[in-house]
């Protein structure tokens, strides 16, 4: 079987599809999967076990045989719980082949071979009958098919099908029901992930304000979920406008309908303010009584004693199509619409005629095109006025009235800034969605001032530049295909490609970049990559081995991107600059490598290294895409909230209890391969 894997090529800035051979076997997917995180989720596991025991007893009390259907068995965990609780037989269905194979091994190792049948199929392909996958319909339905949005992994159609074809009427379901909660808030910070705020530019000839086209004001954006670790959002970053209310619930023991629908609730604002954001999370009751409850409520709603960190279930941020002023005590109506896989929200001031049969649910479509060009962190970055002012200060230093300026970055505001600051001629490559920029330039009356070049940098010709030479080459740099921090070094490759068009004394901004590194102890993130051993008494080491095997496969032993503002950590070493990239020169033929050691200055568990890029715009102004600062003597770190940093998890964790037994240093070898644009690394 051939597998195609998408990968960005950092030397061309383009997405490429790599064909993987027979031996590939989904290593990347397994190495980066969420199974370990789920198995470390004690709260979830304990409550599933309690719910399953209760369901098996209820069936037994009725004098029936307990026949379990476990859809999406993964490691087989929930089926093994059911078998231990006394179920007579379990059908464990898993669509992902490597996992189904692992489940077979785990079930056997734990001695449940006679009680559990693993079926490697999608549940909708499972057959029932004497010659079928299942001998008969089940009377207990166990699943864990939920994502942060509850329904995003297709739980509803899977349940709908299972009730029609795979389980008996009146079956017991674990979980029994789910409830989705909402809370209305105002938040400049979160709203900045969805709309472009006016950008202030202090130019020599006075202040100018860059505005967004009016289409963006009313644009509902894109339907993809914004899921974050809301527990890392301080209360000072938002204002609560309503109580928490239940938006809707789903009873999994009854037939489930997956067809699109709407739900409406009435809210009475606790405060006057601007309704912008709906925060949302869910909980599940494992049994009908509601006594066994597993909740994703954030810290300001839930008592800290029941707190469980997890990354596979977080909280959702939904953006209302436009901000709506609300008055304290003056009722408003919040509507949630959903299709089979996603949810979106609207706010109304008056109660609309409720005509259920007539509900036309249309998922939001971005009309302004900005939401297709910029994702949420990118909106946040472009709205960061502090960051923008660093670029403005730098541009002011290098631009002259007769500058011929070329900008290379995706969806960047730099060409507009350069124009506002007086550059005579500004050209830019803008990536896709040029139509948005046409509207954007028009909204700012500069459509004839900036020229968009619809060619790749390698194909730049002097006719694009009206036979002039480029005097100032600028980039943020930012490219949408970048996954890891150093992928934005594509700027260096593009700069190299346009070398023949540069004037002899041309300025390149940023003039250089540097790679920085620090050793850290994570508060929680370590869980997602740490072995489980046993889970609720079941041996799941086969799963650990499988992940380790995938990590060792070819180049999978690499750093992975994480937005660290969501994942607290403390620094165990000082930050260290490990490589520099001089954009004033072209990309060299040879690799750039470095070796060295980094001293540990605090005690703690060395979970891994964090790496990020800093861009030196001009000699004395730089911007960091990683560490902002280390806040106290404990070493708590503050990270750039708009960027993902690279995390390299060490294969074994080094722990130091006292300062005397501190391992003094971690040694590293880092290599930037100029042919591939990738960085490989090794630590000891
Ligand atoms: N039950 C395990 C794993 C849950 S993860 C546990 O609780 O630890 C969900 C799993 O369901 C994934 O492995 C996914 O591949 C599988 N899955 C999702 N929908 C499915 C379906 N309709 N049929 C079969 N497998 C499904």
Whole-number average pLDDT of the chain: 92
493: domain CATH number is 3.40.50.150
236: domain CATH number is 2.70.160.11
Does 261 map to a domain? yes
Atom 7 of ligand 1 has which residue's CA nearest to it?
A: 144
Same domain assignment for residues 132 and 194:
no
Does 533 map to a domain? no
Give ∠ CA 511-517-518 in degrees, rounded to 5: 145
Amino acid 627: pLDDT: 98
Same domain assignment for residues 352 and 221:
yes
Is the Cβ–Cβ distance between 149 and 178 less than 8 Å? no
Least confident of 112-121, 590-599, 650-659: 650-659
| Residue 551 pLDDT > 70 | yes
> Cis link prior to 510 (omega < 30° from 0)?
yes
Given the structure tokens 């593009």, which residue do they identify? 494
Does 677 map to a domain? yes
Question: Rounded mean pLDDT of 117-125?
Answer: 98
| Residue 1 pLDDT > 70 | no
Is the Cβ–Cβ distance between 176 and 253 less than 8 Å? yes
Amino acid 23: pLDDT: 63
Same domain assignment for residues 475 and 519:
no
Within 8 A by CB and 6+ apart from 171, the residues are 138, 139, 140, 141, 163, 253
| Residue 647 pLDDT > 90 | yes
What distance in Å separates the CA atoms of residue 561 and residue 525, rounded to the nearest whole number? 12
CA distances (Å), 498 to each of 2, 486, 623, in order?
Answer: 38, 20, 24
Does 560 map to a domain? no
Ligand 1 atom closest to the CA of 73, numbered from 1: 1
Tell me which of 177, 194, 217 is where a domain ends: 177
> Is 16 annotated as catalytic?
no
**87 C-beta closer than 6 A to ligand 1:** no
What distance in Å separates the CA atoms of residue 520 and residue 654, rounded to the nearest whole number? 11
**77 C-beta closer than 6 A to ligand 1:** yes
Does 535 map to a domain? no
Atom 14 of ligand 1 has which residue's CA nearest to it?
A: 72
Q: Which of the given ranges, 42-51, 297-306, 407-416, has the highest pLDDT on average?
A: 42-51
Given the structure tokens 């041309």, which residue do they identify? 506
Is the Cβ–Cβ distance between 410 and 480 less than 8 Å? yes
Same domain assignment for residues 326 and 286:
yes
What distance in Å separates the CA atoms of residue 38 and residue 34, rounded to the nearest whole number? 6
Same domain assignment for residues 360 and 503:
no
**145 C-beta closer than 6 A to ligand 1:** yes
Amino acid 358: pLDDT: 45
Q: Quick count: other Cβ atoms within 10 Å of Cβ 649?
A: 18
Tell me which of 112, 147, 177 is where a domain ends: 177
Count up the domains in the chain and report the number.
5
| Residue 657 pLDDT > 70 | no
Q: Given pLDDT bands bounded at 50, 70 and 90, which one contains residue 429?
A: confident
Same domain assignment for residues 203 and 264:
yes
Ligand 1 atom closest to the CA of 96, numbered from 1: 15
Instruction: Give residue-wise pLDDT tens across range 4-15.
Output: 667 778 888 777
Same domain assignment for residues 644 and 631:
yes
Ligand 1 atom closest to the CA of 155, numbered from 1: 19
Q: Which of 20, 29, 153, 324 is catalytic?
A: 153
Instruction: Give residue-wise pLDDT tens across range 187-241.
Output: 999 999 999 999 999 888 889 999 999 988 889 999 889 999 999 999 999 999 9
Same domain assignment for residues 225 and 318:
yes
Run of H or E residues at 17: strand 14-20
**158 C-beta closer than 6 A to ligand 1:** yes
Tell me which of 367, 392, 411 is where a domain ends: 367
Instruction: Give residue-wise pLDDT tens across range 435-471.
Output: 788 889 999 998 888 888 888 888 888 888 889 999 9
> Is 153 annotated as catalytic?
yes
**Token output for 47:** 């409550």
pTM (predicted TM-score): 0.94
Q: Quick count: other Cβ atoms within 10 Å of Cβ 603?
A: 16
Query: Domain limits at 13?
Result: 3-32
Same domain assignment for residues 129 and 253:
no
What distance in Å separates the CA atoms of residue 604 and residue 4, rounded to the nearest whole number? 41
Does 546 map to a domain? no
Same domain assignment for residues 315 and 390:
no
Within 8 A by CB and 6+ apart from 279, the residues are 182, 183, 185, 230, 238, 298, 315, 316, 317, 318
Same domain assignment for residues 202 and 315:
yes
What distance in Å separates the CA atoms of residue 98 and residue 82, rounded to the nearest whole number? 22
Q: How many CA atoms lie within 13 A of 277 on its CB side?
A: 24
Does 492 map to a domain? yes
Does 198 map to a domain? yes
Instruction: Give residue-wise pLDDT tens across range 311-361.
Output: 999 999 999 999 999 999 999 999 999 999 999 999 998 766 655 544 556
Q: What percentage of the chain carries pLDDT values higher than 70?
A: 94
Same domain assignment for residues 171 and 198:
no
| Residue 431 pLDDT > 70 | no
Q: 97-109 and 77-84 are packed helices; what angle lies between their axes, rounded to 10 degrees?
A: 30
């Amino acid at each position: 079987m051939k597998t195609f894997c998408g990968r960005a090529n950092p030397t061309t800035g383009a997405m490429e599809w790599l064909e993987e051979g027979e031996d590939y076997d989904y290593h990347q997917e397994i190495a980066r999967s969420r199974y370990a995180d789920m198995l470390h989720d004690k709260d979830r596991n304990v409550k599933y076990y309690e719910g399953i025991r209760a369901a098996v007893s209820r069936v037994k009390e009725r004098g029936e045989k307990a026949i379990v259907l476990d859809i999406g068995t993964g490691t087989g965990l929930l089926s093994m719980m059911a078998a231990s609780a006394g179920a007579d037989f379990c059908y464990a269905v898993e669509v992902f082949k490597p996992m189904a194979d692992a489940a077979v091994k785990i079930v056997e190792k734990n001695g449940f071979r006679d009680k559990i049948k693993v079926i490697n199929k999608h549940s909708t392909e499972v057959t029932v009958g004497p010659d079928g996958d299942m001998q008969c319909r089940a009377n207990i339905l166990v699943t864990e098919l939920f994502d942060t949005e509850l329904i995003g992994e297709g739980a509803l159609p899977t349940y709908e099908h299972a009730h029609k074809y795979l389980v008996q009427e009146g079956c017991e379901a674990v979980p029994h029901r789910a409830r989705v909660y909402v809370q209305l808030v105002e938040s400049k910070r979160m709203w900045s992930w969805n709309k472009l705020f006016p950008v202030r530019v202090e130019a020599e000839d006075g202040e100018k304000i860059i505005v967004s086209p009016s289409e963006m004001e009313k644009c509902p954006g894109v339907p993809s979920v914004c899921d974050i670790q809301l527990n890392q959002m301080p209360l000072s970053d938002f204002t609560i406008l309503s109580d928490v209310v239940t938006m809707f619930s789903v009873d999994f023991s009854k037939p489930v309908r997956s067809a699109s629908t709407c739900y409406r609730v009435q809210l009475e604002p606790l405060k006057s303010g601007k309704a912008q954001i709906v925060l949302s999370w869910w909980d599940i009751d494992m049994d009908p009584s509601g006594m066994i409850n597993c909740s994703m409520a954030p810290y300001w709603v839930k008592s800290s004693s029941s707190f469980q960190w997890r990354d596979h279930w977080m909280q959702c941020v939904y953006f209302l199509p436009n901000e709506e002023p609300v008055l304290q005590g003056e009722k408003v109506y919040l509507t949630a619409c959903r299709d089979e896989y996603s949810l979106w929200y609207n706010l109304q001031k008056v109660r609309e005629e409720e005509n259920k049969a007539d509900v036309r649910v249309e998922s939001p479509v971005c009309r302004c095109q900005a939401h297709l060009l910029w994702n949420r962190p990118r909106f946040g970055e472009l709205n960061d006025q502090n960051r923008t002012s660093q670029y403005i200060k730098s541009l002011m230093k290098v631009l002259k009235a007769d500058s011929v300026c070329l900008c290379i970055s995706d969806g960047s505001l730099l060409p507009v800034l350069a124009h506002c600051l007086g550059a005579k001629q500004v050209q830019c490559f803008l990536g896709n969605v040029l139509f948005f920029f046409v509207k954007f330039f028009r909204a700012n009356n500069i459509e004839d001032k900036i020229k968009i070049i619809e060619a790749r940098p390698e194909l730049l010709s002097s006719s694009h530049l009206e036979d002039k030479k480029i005097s100032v080459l600028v980039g943020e740099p930012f490219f949408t295909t970048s996954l890891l921090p150093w992928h934005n070094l594509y700027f260096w490759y593009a700069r190299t490609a346009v070398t023949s068009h540069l004037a002899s004394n041309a300025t390149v901004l940023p003039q250089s970049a540097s790679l920085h590194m620090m050793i850290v102890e994570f508060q929680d993130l370590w869980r997602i990559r740490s072995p489980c051993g046993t889970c609720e008494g079941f041996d799941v080491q086969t799963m650990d081995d499988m992940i380790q095997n995938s990590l060792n496969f070819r180049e999978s032993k690499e750093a992975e991107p994480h937005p660290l503002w969501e994942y607290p950590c403390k620094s165990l070493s000082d930050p260290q600059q490990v490589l520099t990239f001089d954009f004033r020169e072209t990309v060299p033929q040879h690799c750039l490598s470095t070796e060295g050691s980094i001293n540990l200055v605090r005690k703690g568990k060395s979970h891994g290294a964090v790496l990020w890029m800093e861009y030196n715009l001009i000699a004395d102004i730089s911007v960091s895409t990683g560490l902002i600062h280390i806040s106290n003597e404990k070493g708590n770190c503050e990270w750039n909230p708009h960027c993902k940093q690279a995390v390299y998890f060490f294969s074994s964790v080094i722990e130091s209890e006292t300062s005397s037994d501190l391992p003094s240093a971690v040694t590293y070898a880092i290599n930037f391969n100029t042919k591939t644009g990738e960085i490989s690394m090794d630590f000891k």
